[in-house]
Amino acid sequence: MTDIDIIEGNGEDETPVARVPRGTGRRLHGAVAHKLGTAILSGEYAPGDTLSGEVEFSKTLDVSRSAYREAVQVLTAKGLVESRPKIGTRVLPRSRWNLLDPDVLAWAFAGEPDITFVRGLFELRAIVEPAAAALAAERRERSDLKVMKDSLAAMRRLTLATEAGRAADREFHDAVLTATRNDALIVLSASIGAAVNWTTQFKQRGRALPRNPLPDHMLVYEAIAAGNANAASTAMRTLVDLALEDTKLAMAR
Amino acid sequence: MTDIDIIEGNGEDETPVARVPRGTGRRLHGAVAHKLGTAILSGEYAPGDTLSGEVEFSKTLDVSRSAYREAVQVLTAKGLVESRPKIGTRVLPRSRWNLLDPDVLAWAFAGEPDITFVRGLFELRAIVEPAAAALAAERRERSDLKVMKDSLAAMRRLTLATEAGRAADREFHDAVLTATRNDALIVLSASIGAAVNWTTQFKQRGRALPRNPLPDHMLVYEAIAAGNANAASTAMRTLVDLALEDTKLAMAR
DNA sequence: TCTCGACGAATAGTATGACAATTTATGGTA
DNA sequence: TACCATAAATTGTCATACTATTCGTCGAGA
């Protein structure tokens, strides 16, 4: 899959341009936002840099000014850039970025993700997920338990080697979150979890998992089912630590 | 400051429309996004609802289609809505909203904030901030401590009754976060803290704080300075619990 | 000489109208 | 009945003109 298509200038036009392609169903401004977003997250544009003017840049990308502007609006909405008349569009300091935005996370992981940032995400996950498990142990309903049980069964049957198996894994974690009845917690943990899973999946192609994660999942489930908040917290903690180990291993090589 | 200006139809035009005004410096599409965002967060548009078409709606708001579309892009970027040809723009299920986005939080608190949502934010804060304090105790540098000390001094001098005093309070908490050296944690905690502070500030106009928060802040500082992670965690925990008490009190009346 | 204000230029912001692309619904045909 | 072509509605993209905002500069006056 190519990211950039170079097309030739036709001799009487301007400079050759880099087209922003898109798969079917993807919008043009979305593709532009993706391109700019990854460029910023990868450090290609550093905080303080000002992008070349709208007219010029849209011409370079071979898109209309409207499409380019809509893309910039997206970046602005995520705190990556700021536009002012006479000044231009400049990249904001990293502290203003919405680093927990799902798209921003995706852009961050599109290239080589910054190690310290990944470590930070794991740290956050290690804080939030055990606490979530504890809350889930206190508040879970019968239906939550059923979903967890079913997804664990699917995990056992399919293993993490298959996509369906990984889906079951995600389903289990989602069920735990849902059981907390805390929307903010759900949203946060879901995006972090997704981002973190990308790293492992990205790095471990073709490599067998170092250890069967099912028993640990079972421990979490049983603690939640028993309503034991402390046990749920510690069990989830070991689960997160295990994932961290795997990722550390994968990123080291 | 008026929020809506009603202007008369001129007799041959369409129906009278509600203009979206804006203060100087604010962009039109930003104002529209704010209006739509608060409308969605307040439940005026429920998940699943489809907004009237771009042409119609932009005419109703008396803005160009471009401005309206840019506003919708912002909402899309924050996971509030989704647009598809032939279908229209519809409000996404709440689970897709980026509830931790600063703007979304602001919109949520623009009207009467949902009690359970506020409770959830406090819960999250009670999870994250003590852990952050613990990390800060382990990683703080000399400069971090200096900033904390200075802001505490400012707090004592100015008290929380003044805006400058509250700024010093925020500065202290920011310093604690900065000391964690975890970007994701910083961003998260900062937005939650901001949102949560709005509630107290919003509700407690003219009412004296029930108790002097400075001693508890000092405890946090001392624990961090001493490098005692456990003590820092528990001290921060009591600080958060105290804030929760205040807010509960304020929202009850 | 310094300060303040008016003016001008550069850039993003808004408006308008036309056309393209996408997707659902409809209806017709095998 | 199932499937495929076609139509219609809506968003998506484009091009262009004009407006508003902001910074820098230049000049007048203290």
Helices and strands in chain B: count of H runs, count of E runs: 10, 5
Determine if strand C comes within 7 Å of the CB of B86.
yes
Please work out, in degrees rounded to the nearest 5, the angle formed at the alpha carbon of residue B170 by the alpha carbons of A77 and B24: 45
Residues B77 and B170 in one domain: no
| B25 Cβ contacts chain D strand, under 7 Å | yes
Is B103 inside any structural domain? no
Q: Does A105 map to a domain?
A: no
Provide the pLDDT for residue A21: 67
State whether residue A187 sits within 8 Å of chain B by CB: yes
The DSSP annotation for chain A comes to: --S-EEE---SSSSS-EEE----TT--HHHHHHHHHHHHHHTTSS-TT-EEPPHHHHHHHHTS-HHHHHHHHHHHHHTTSEEEETTTEEEEPPGGGS-TTSHHHHHHHTTSS--HHHHHHHHHHHHHHHHHHHHHHHHH--HHHHHHHHHHHHHHHHH-TTSHHHHHHHHHHHHHHHHTTT-HHHHHHHHHHHHHHHHHHHHH-TTPPPSS--HHHHHHHHHHHHHT-HHHHHHHHHHHHHHHHHHHHHHHH-
pLDDT level of residue A210 (50, 70, 90 thresholds): low
In a domain, residue A175? The reply is: yes
For residues A88 and A150, membership in a common domain is answered with no
Q: Domain check: are A84 and A124 in the same one? A: no
Asked if residue A53 keeps its beta carbon closer than 7 A to nucleic acid strand C, the reply is: yes
Q: Which pLDDT value is given to residue B21?
A: 67
Residues from chain A that touch B103, judged by Cβ atoms under 8 A, are 77
Instruction: Identify whether residues A68 and A190 lie together within a single domain.
Output: no
Work out the average pLDDT over A172-178: 96
Nearest chain B residue to A26, by CA = B84
User: Which 78-97 positions of B have CB less than 7 A from strand D?
Assistant: 83-89
Chain A residue with the nearest C-alpha to that of B133: A127
pLDDT band of residue B206 (cuts 50, 70, 90) is low
B85 and B131 in a common domain: no
The mean pLDDT value for A145-165 works out to 92
- If asked whether residues A130 and A89 sit together in one domain, one would say no
Q: How far is the CA of B142 from the C1' of C11 (A)?
A: 43
DSSP codes of every residue in B10-50: -SSSSS-EEE----TT--HHHHHHHHHHHHHHTTSS-TT-E
Rounded distance between C-alpha atoms, residue B36 and residue B54, angstroms: 13
| Angle, CA of B246, B251 and B253, to the nearest 5° | 105
Q: Are A171 and A147 in contact (CB under 8 A)?
A: yes
pLDDT score of B223: 98
Which bases of strand D have any atom within 7 Å of the beta carbon of a protein residue? 8-16, 20-23
What's the token pair of residue B219? 């405890």
Q: Final residue of a domain: which of B68, B96, B124?
A: B96
C-alpha distance from A238 to closest chain B C-alpha (Å): 17
Residue A36's CATH number: 1.10.10.10
Model confidence at A2, in pLDDT bands (50, 70, 90)?
very low
Q: Are A39 and A81 in contact (CB under 8 A)?
A: no
Same domain, A159 and A200: yes
For residue B1, the distance in angstroms to the closest alpha carbon of chain A comes to: 24
Share of chain B above pLDDT 70, in %: 84
pLDDT for position A168: 93
- Answer with the one of B96, B125, B157 that is the final residue of a domain: B96
Per-residue model confidence (pLDDT) at position B221: 97
Residue B173's domain is classified under what CATH number?
Answer: 1.20.120.530
CB contact under 8 A, A185 and B120: yes
Q: Is the CB of B64 under 7 A from strand C?
A: yes
The pLDDT of residue B202: 60
Quick check: is B6 in a domain? no
Q: How far is A130 from chain B (nearest CA, A)?
A: 10
- Whether residue B131 lies inside any domain: the answer is yes
Domain span at A90: 25-96
Q: How confident is the model at residue A18 (pLDDT cuts 50, 70, 90)?
A: low
Looking at the structure, tell me whether residues A58 and A85 fall in a common domain: yes
Query: In terms of domains, do B38 and B137 share one?
Result: no
Q: What is the pLDDT of residues A72-115, one digit of tens each?
A: 999 999 999 999 999 999 999 999 999 999 999 999 999 888 88
In a domain? residue B107: no
Q: Does residue A8 or residue B159 have the better pLDDT? A: B159
Q: What pLDDT score does B9 carry?
A: 34
Single out the residue in A96, A130, A154 at which a domain terminates.
A96
Least confident interval from A57-71, A159-173, B42-56, B137-151: A159-173
- Work out how many domains chain B is built from and give that number: 2
In a domain, B119, yes or no: yes
User: How open is the CA angle B223-B159-B150, to the nearest 5 degrees?
Assistant: 45
pLDDT score of B18 more than 70:
no
Nearest-Cα distance to chain A for B45, in Å, is 19
Give a yes or no: residue B14 inside a domain: no
- Bigger pLDDT: A13 vs B80: B80
Is strand C less than 7 A from the beta carbon of A25?
A: yes
Say whether pLDDT at A1 is over 80.
no
Q: Which residues of A touch B192 (CB under 8 A)?
A: 184
Is pLDDT of A6 > 60?
A: no
Residues A132 and A248 in one domain: yes
CB burial of A211-228 (b: ≥16 within 10 Å; e: otherwise) equals eebeebbebbbebbbeeb
Least confident interval from A43-52, A98-107, A151-160, B56-65: A151-160
DSSP state, B92?
A: P
Residue A186: predicted pLDDT: 96
Q: Which of B29, B98, B131 sits opposite A187 (nearest CB)?
A: B98
Chain B, window 82-111: residues with a beta carbon less than 8 angstroms from a chain A beta carbon = 94-95, 97-103
Phi, psi angles (nearest 5°) of residue A187: -60, -50
Per-residue pLDDT averaged across A209-222, rounded?
87
Residues A164 and A50 in one domain: no
Between chain A and chain B, the number of residue pairs with CB atoms below 8 A apart is: 103
The number of angstroms, rounded, from the C-alpha of B133 to the middle of its chain's C-alpha atoms is 21
CA–C1' gap, A125 and C12, in angstroms: 40
Which chain A residues in 74-93 sit with Cβ < 7 A of strand D?
A: 84-87
Number of neighbours of residue A233 by Cβ within 10 angstroms? 20
Q: Is B81 helix (H, G, I), strand (E, B) or coil?
A: strand
> How far is it, in rounded angstroms, from Cα B238 to Cα A61?
54
**Do A90 and A193 have their domain in common?**
no
Q: What is the pLDDT of residue A207?
A: 58
